[in-house]
Homo-oligomer: A and B are copies of this chain.
């Protein structure tokens, strides 16, 4: 069992903790406590290691490696010395904030064994910055992102033998922070635990990559302006389980989340959405919803935007004609507009992007209450030309088959 610290109940003011005094006290305290210090890392490694599973047996996020990174935060001491220790269940108080009030955040990253033999991360600075924003949104303790990233790299190096090299496989990295303060008062969790779990994973959608279907959901809303949809919080996911389950009974793989009075496109399951439209002059519109607080600022989303914009500057995407014009736009698209484009024959591609699945084509979208559907020809490979080229390019960078600053080695 992992020796995760258990906070003892605080027998003080049990109110909402909303008095200025208590807040000031917390702020003063955090100024004098320890931040994450990678130089204090201790390793408690297992003497008998688990055999690494055969790559063809890997699915997404079901297996963990031998060890995890553990850090605990207390208001008196700040972040504890980091520890890499055997993966195992942790002790949690039933009154802990993470159980009672969902003060839980996480990140999704992947390590790849680079073509150069070096384990590599993909744009990890974006994950660290986002995790820091998530912690702040739930009033969890702040932390030094560069220090955490350094520890993640060390953990990946320790668990290097777990990085699968088969196509579509990678070592999924799940940094997780959760509040451990005990008590039923609805007040910030002044103590927390930060874990980094590694999971050798196969494709998010098992089998060869093939298009998925969506149900456009307008009764249940995943997020809204002023809510938490723009942050990577555990609490954004639980409410999606029931509607996704219901959509699956109708034969759809995932939900296309719609927002607002005009039912504009949001996310696709747990992925960011992209729509490609054909113009009469042969150029293409590449459209994704804007970061208005309802959309997760995805690392893959940002990378697709960066690559397609660079295509129009000085870095054409391999696999796409250099002379092809892409009109890249972050804007709202009502579902009615998507239907209109489809009916007019302008809809070229729809796909979802995210760390777990990278890029998944979509060939069918159910909408409305009368079983209406947008059906899209996706060709023999299942991919449209933009989806195919962009996915290939991102994976080439991730796997260091192409040299790029986005691919960061873990061994330096």
Binding site for B on A (CB under 8 A): 1-2, 6, 9-20, 23, 57, 59-64, 68, 87, 89-95, 98-104, 106, 108, 136-139, 172, 174, 176, 178-179, 182-189, 195, 197, 199, 201-202, 204-206, 218-221, 224-228, 233-235, 237-242, 244-245, 247-249, 251-254, 269-270, 356
Measured in the bound complex, the distance between the Cα atoms of B326 and A176 in whole Å is: 51
Measured between beta carbons, the chain B residues less than 8 angstroms from A136 are 242
Measured between beta carbons, the chain B residues less than 8 angstroms from A201 are 14, 184
Measured in the bound complex, the distance between the Cα atoms of B199 and A206 in whole Å is: 46
Measured between beta carbons, the chain B residues less than 8 angstroms from A237 are 100-102, 186
Classify the secondary structure of A's interface with B: loop
A23 adjacent to B245 (CB under 8 Å): yes
A9-B64, A183-B61 known; A253-B90 Cβ under 8 A: no
- Which of B12, B102, B254 is within 8 Å of A235, CB to CB? B102
Instruction: Write the nearest CB–CB distance from A198 to chain B, whole angstroms.
Output: 11
Measured between beta carbons, the chain B residues less than 8 angstroms from A20 are 248-249, 251
Measured between beta carbons, the chain B residues less than 8 angstroms from A68 are 94
Interface centre among A68, A94, A137, A204 (most CB of B within 10 A): A94
B62 adjacent to A254 (CB under 8 Å): no
A102-B102, A221-B226 known; A241-B195 Cβ under 8 A: no
Measured in the bound complex, the distance between the Cα atoms of B23 and A178 in whole Å is: 30
B234 adjacent to A225 (CB under 8 Å): no
B103 adjacent to A195 (CB under 8 Å): no
A245 adjacent to B195 (CB under 8 Å): no
A187 adjacent to B241 (CB under 8 Å): yes
Measured between beta carbons, the chain B residues less than 8 angstroms from A16 are 244, 253-254, 269-270
B241 adjacent to A61 (CB under 8 Å): no
Q: Give the nearest-CB partner of A61 in chain B.
A: B184
Interface centre among A6, A136, A138, A241 (most CB of B within 10 A): A241
B12 adjacent to A62 (CB under 8 Å): yes
Measured in the bound complex, the distance between the Cα atoms of B207 and A228 in whole Å is: 34
Measured in the bound complex, the distance between the Cα atoms of B246 and A380 in whole Å is: 54
A100 adjacent to B106 (CB under 8 Å): yes
A93 adjacent to B89 (CB under 8 Å): yes
A20-B248, A205-B15 known; A227-B227 Cβ under 8 A: yes
What 8 pairs between A and B have smallest CB-CB spacing?
A: A61-B184, A14-B59, A221-B226, A235-B235, A18-B248, A102-B234, A14-B60, A101-B237
